[in-house]
Copies of this chain bind each other. A is one copy, B any other.
């Protein structure tokens, strides 16, 4: 089975998620749908909504609230991207200028707040305390992760453990919550919830590590993605952490100097990418991502034999092998 077949199998449900999203943006203030549509229409993969739908179906859910929660998690994700891009002084996302450039920082901050509030309002409408617990817990973890990310900006002493904690909060918690929500809707008990949560946590970790690797390899795979964006933003991620620990000392000293100065020529950047590759640091990060993806699928043992488990396994592979 390919990821395309998985998307295809959920095409009509994902279309209904899009309709929920569009419906949620109706507002008297045109600025809100304008900004939100710019972001939501920029070709995001809707990974989180897909995971809500897949998890709900796997747990035997047959209602339609999974579409609503699909929209909710995508809105929370979008809100966080809007704030992220302001905080990181980003200029481009998914090949398009970011909202903070097209409009301004104020707009990106306040529309982000709006999307987050809207997501919670939609979710509350389902009348389930368990749904709200799951979402508010994930949002709090995300917010902590974002603050941690800022605190560790430019921190060349960041350890692998600290990095893993950080991405768990920043990225994996919401992906894990998306999976848990499917199980919560089905209401088949805490074991299914926990299994899906562990699956989602593994997928989320694999996703973020792969994303951090792509920052150093994207050019090879896909034109147009800015290389070394994380470096320029002072973000120390797993490939660099591993390299600084294990690389040859004269090389690591040069990279430390470059990172501390945060000024790179294209040549410096190419050199850093080469060193990360040759030292095995990139391969190490990819292998960690693969471990997380494997653990994710292993958490679904109880669903052995269910074809939807196979779909979730495909998603776990996909988050590593995607090229953007």
Residue of B nearest to A80 (CB): B113
Could you say which of A127-135, A195-203, A275-283, A291-299 contacts chain B? A127-135
Contacts of A133 in B (CB 8 A): 124
A136 is an interface residue with CB less than 8 A from chain B: yes
Docked CA distance A5–B120 (Å): 38
Partner of A117, one of B27, B87, B129, B142: B142
Contact with B along A137-159 (1 / 0, CB 8 A): 10110111011101100000000
A30-66 residues at the B interface, CB under 8 angstroms:
31-32
Contact with B along A148-176 (1 / 0, CB 8 A): 10110000000000000000000000000
Query: In the complex this chain forms, how many copies of it are found?
Result: 2
What is the number of residues of chain A that contact chain B, defined by CB distance less than 8 Å?
Answer: 40
- Is B147 a contact of A110 with CB atoms below 8 Å? yes
A106 is an interface residue with CB less than 8 A from chain B: yes
Evaluate whether A147 and B111 lie within 8 angstroms (CB atoms) in the complex, with A116-B116, A124-B129, A137-B121 already known: yes
A105 is an interface residue with CB less than 8 A from chain B: yes
A98 is an interface residue with CB less than 8 A from chain B: no
Contact with B along A100-118 (1 / 0, CB 8 A): 0000011101110110111
A83 is an interface residue with CB less than 8 A from chain B: yes
A210 is an interface residue with CB less than 8 A from chain B: no
Residue of B nearest to A146 (CB): B110
- Is A31 a contact of B136 with CB atoms below 8 Å? no
- Chain A interface SS verdict (over half): helix
Docked CA distance A132–B123 (Å): 10
Contacts of A87 in B (CB 8 A): 105-106, 109-110
- Is B106 a contact of A144 with CB atoms below 8 Å? no
Docked CA distance A296–B223 (Å): 61
Docked CA distance A172–B136 (Å): 24
A17 is an interface residue with CB less than 8 A from chain B: no
A29 is an interface residue with CB less than 8 A from chain B: yes
Partner of A136, one of B106, B120, B127, B129: B120
Contacts of A129 in B (CB 8 A): 124, 127-129, 132
- Is B151 a contact of A31 with CB atoms below 8 Å? yes
A-B contact pairs, 21 of them (CB 8 A): A27-B144, A29-B151, A31-B147, A31-B150, A31-B151, A32-B147, A83-B109, A86-B106, A87-B106, A106-B150, A107-B147, A109-B109, A110-B143, A110-B147, A111-B147, A117-B136, A117-B140, A117-B143, A120-B136, A124-B132, A129-B129
Inter-chain pairs besides A114-B146, A124-B136, 10 sampled, C-beta below 8 Å: A28-B144, A29-B151, A83-B109, A83-B110, A114-B143, A117-B136, A117-B142, A123-B136, A128-B129, A129-B129
